[in-house]
Amino acid sequence: MPAPKYTMEQKERFFELVDRGGTVRAAAAAAGVHESAAYTWLRNAGLTMQRATPRVYSAEDKAEFFRRLAVNPNVSAVAKGLGFPRVTCYAWAHRAGIFTSEARKVNPRREEFLRLRASGLSRADARKRVGADARSATDWDKGITIINRGRVYPGGRVVRYPEPIIDGVPERRTRAIGGSVDLNVVEKVIHARYLSLIEREQLQDLRRSGISIRQIAAEMGRAPSTISRELKRNTASPQGYMPHTAHRLSVRRRARPRQPKLVANVELRAYVQASLKKKWSPQQISNRLIKKFPDAPEMRVSTETIYQAIYVHARGELKRELGRQLRRGRAARKPRKQPDARRPRFVDPMKAISDRPAHVASREVPGHWEGDLIIGAAGGSAIATLVERSSRFVLLGHLGRERSADAVRDSLITTVAHLPDSLRGTLTWDQGAEMAEHKAFSIATNMDVYFADPGAPWQRGSNENTNGLLRQYFPKGTDLSAISTDDLKAVANELNERPRKTLDWDTPAERLTALLNAT
């Protein structure tokens, strides 16, 4: 009798990987098994990889998609606005003979913008001519390419944006034994009385050791009936108890779907629809219902339920057009951030002011700076300001009309280049986007950058005070791009030679010299 082609260890390895949510092909490759044998094992075990229930789209859905596509020939953008899968929308477009990739290779607005810039027009004027936003105009000017969740710079540097940490994150689904399930729900810990995934893995190991259910229960600190019911309910096939599959089955069984309130109650739905058409807000509708129907508890609906009906169930009972009656008129709901999980401000990790060395706060050691920008007329120009905390010594960096993170980085590096190493300690800045290149600045200057807390300008008090003094030279509404580097040096020298009360009437230049001599 010929020996079996595959060992029992390979078979067990395959089922372990499939149980963990892997695809049949990936699990077969990892276990060193041919796909046909893997599918045969799966069928013999009575297991199937179930798909999610397909979504059904109405004729109105498709008509709305093509209407928007005629206005904006970008399938991905239209799909995102409607909340439809991008692949589905591309399939509709291709079946209709619409291929947008060729049209998107050349951006007419970008080409016109670059032509205007080449003719000598300023960036602001050129972008206004073509109707582009400031960020796009800056990218076009610099030759930056936008990619999915990132940007590619002309020199080849790629910057990836961090994943958003927001409420309403799109669900992550897996097609696995036991059906397609939402991974966010699977990974959520409900209560200690439910068996966890770790406990289910422990149960599998104890079951394989051959001990009784009561012994397993004693080992796990659970009731024997809990273990017995778990094995009976969640053993999916003759292959035996599979912990990950059992966990998914348990999660699916936990769901208690019910009909939405605005679907079940026709009278309530009609009142909400009529009120939305009168441009009432969901909050107004929710509170007005209490006054209008004081003795009818079934005529109650929360503000959130109305929003969910508009944005989640809008393709059914409440038509999508009702969403346009809202004051913001959004086609899709704007996601909100988790209050306890703030998204990082920059790609490179920030150093909070709370992590700054304690001796910086004492102002006894020179070389620690505070910085910010002062903005010119209509936000079209800027100057970088640096103030040394101990002596109030001022340095000014030229920016002109460019306020991007790259320009601020280069200006600050140039400004501090002449400083001795003893005066290059730390720099404290606010969380403005202009400091996105803080890591590159730190590497170039050997100065650590720390960021003040949001909405806490007093943490950079010396710089805020100095910016107020500078307004005597550069009043609000001044075009700062017309100020030369020599002019900035002259203003800085005048400030540094001015006696200050906080320095016991010494000048910043005198105090800085004294501190350097003392150290």
pTM of the complete model: 0.42
Q: Are 456 and 431 in contact (CB under 8 A)?
A: no
Residue 404's closest CA among 383, 435, 445?
435
State how beta strands 166-167 and 173-174 pair: unpaired
Instruction: Quote the CA–CA distance of 456 and 514 in Å, as a whole number.
Output: 31
Question: Cα(206)–Cα(412) distance, rounded to whole angstroms?
Answer: 64
Q: Which stretch of DSSP H or E encloses residue 373?
A: strand 368-375
Predicted pLDDT of residue 69 = 84
Which residue bears the tokens 């943490």? Answer: 459
Residues of the chain with confidence (pLDDT) below 50: 1, 102-104, 164-173, 316-319
Identify which of 6, 53, 8, 61 has the alpha carbon closest to the alpha carbon of residue 331.
61
Task: Please answer whether residues 178 and 20 qualify as being in contact, where contact means their C-beta atoms are separated by less than 8 angstroms.
Answer: no
Q: Which pLDDT score is estimated for 422?
A: 87
Tokens, residue 218: 């004693």
Confidence at residue 254, expressed as pLDDT on a 0 to 100 scale: 76
Give SS3 for 411: helix
**Beta bridge mates, 146:** 151
**Closest to 187 (Cα-Cα) out of 247, 236, 257, 255:** 247
DSSP summary character for residue 337: E
Q: Is the distance from CB of 263 to CB of 192 less than 8 angstroms?
A: no
Specify the pLDDT at position 171: 40
Q: Do 113 and 143 touch, CB atoms closer than 8 A? A: no
Q: Are 176 and 189 in contact (CB under 8 A)?
A: no
**What pLDDT is recorded for position 164?**
47
pLDDT the model gives residue 16: 83
Distance CA 321, CA 153 (A): 41
Angle (CA) 214-220-224 rounded to 5° is 30
CATH topology of domain 353-518: Nucleotidyltransferase; domain 5 (3.30.420)
Strand, helix or coil for residue 439? helix
Residue 429 confidence (pLDDT): 92
Q: Which residues of 263-273 are buried (b: 16+ CB within 10 A; e: fewer)?
A: eebeebbebbb
DSSP state of 393: -
DSSP code per residue over 180-217: -EEHHHHT----TTSPPHHHHHHHHHHHHTT--HHHHH
| Mean per-residue pLDDT over the chain, rounded | 81
The two tokens of residue 306 are 């109305």
Residues 6+ apart with CB under 8 A from 195: 203, 222, 226, 230, 250
Rounded to whole angstroms, the Cα distance separating 324 from 337 reads 23
Backbone torsions φ then ψ of 378, nearest 5 degrees: 55, 25
